[in-house]
């Protein structure tokens, strides 16, 4: 009987622990976005999640930095196929330059709707915390690399305007699709998502494409 209980209770304990981790992670994400990374304490996260501080550290031994990293990873990865268009792997595979831009905007906007708040948190907190500085720099580097990859693909396909270099296109893509611009228009200016997507797609097409 005892062995049977252990056999059945172990998966239950694992599932309970998994759910607790998700609850803590989501509570942390909410507080980070609302109050900033530096101002949010582990005690506040525990209270928001309805658990003890010790439980937070049991689930996340590295504390807030680990919580932020996992919250950001979950937000970036969540429901990617359903939330937006898939990332462009090869511009040559698409029928037209405008289709590439629309696809990139759809995917990027969906990702920023999920993760933009945390990305802005890392940027705003980067001057006060070394972990946030690293997260912000890592994201900026990845965004710049993606922008250059797309710019090079548009150039190879002959879709960039004659007066637009790959460097210029990469800079424009990097800047306009950034979490900062998304936050300014969606959060500060109060634009709805459709307006933001339409503006971004129209601006990129007009600025970069033949």
What pLDDT, on the 0 to 100 scale, is given for residue 81? 44
Residue 156 or 5, more confident: 156
Q: What is the pLDDT of residues 145-176, one digit of tens each?
A: 999 999 999 999 999 999 999 999 999 999 99
Residue 6 or 200, more confident: 200
All structural domains of the chain:
2-62 (1.10.10.60), 78-208 (1.10.357)
Q: What is the pLDDT of residues 9-60, one digit of tens each?
A: 688 889 999 999 999 999 999 999 999 999 999 999 999 999 999 999 999 9
Query: Hey, CA dihedral for 112, 77, 82, 95, is it positive or negative?
Result: positive
* pLDDT-derived band at 83, boundaries 50, 70, 90: very low
Residue 148 or 2, more confident: 148
What pLDDT, on the 0 to 100 scale, is given for residue 70? 97
Two structure tokens written together for 57: 């550290």
What pLDDT, on the 0 to 100 scale, is given for residue 9? 60
What pLDDT, on the 0 to 100 scale, is given for residue 8? 53
Q: What is the pLDDT of residues 98-137, one digit of tens each?
A: 898 999 999 999 999 999 999 999 999 999 999 999 999 9
Query: Hey, CA dihedral for 89, 93, 95, 97, is it positive or negative?
Result: positive
pLDDT of 88 > 70? The answer is no
Q: Which of 189, 3, 2, 203 is nearest to 104 (CA)?
A: 203
Distance CA 38, CA 61 (A): 18
pLDDT of 141 > 90? The answer is yes
């Amino acid at each position: 009987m005892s062995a049977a209980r252990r056999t059945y209770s172990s998966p239950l304990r694992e599932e309970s622990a998994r759910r607790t981790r998700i609850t803590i992670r989501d509570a942390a994400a909410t507080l980070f976005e609302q109050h900033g990374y530096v101002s949010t304490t582990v005690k506040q996260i525990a209270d928001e999640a309805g658990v003890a501080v010790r439980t937070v550290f049991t689930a996340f031994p590295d504390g807030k930095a680990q919580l932020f990293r996992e919250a950001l990873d979950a937000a970036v990865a969540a429901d990617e196929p359903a939330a937006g268009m898939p990332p462009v792997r090869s511009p040559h595979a698409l029928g037209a330059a405008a289709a590439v831009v629309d696809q990139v905007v759809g995917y990027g906007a969906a990702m920023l709707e999920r993760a933009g708040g945390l990305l802005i948190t890392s940027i705003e907190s980067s001057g006060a915390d070394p972990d946030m500085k690293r997260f912000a720099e890592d994201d900026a580097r990845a965004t710049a690399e993606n922008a250059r990859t797309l710019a090079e693909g548009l150039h190879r396909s002959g879709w960039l305007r004659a007066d637009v270099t790959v460097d210029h296109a990469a800079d424009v893509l990097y800047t306009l699709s950034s979490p900062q611009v998304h936050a300014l228009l969606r959060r500060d200016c109060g634009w709805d998502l459709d307006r933001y997507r339409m503006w971004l797609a129209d601006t990129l097409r007009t600025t970069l494409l033949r």
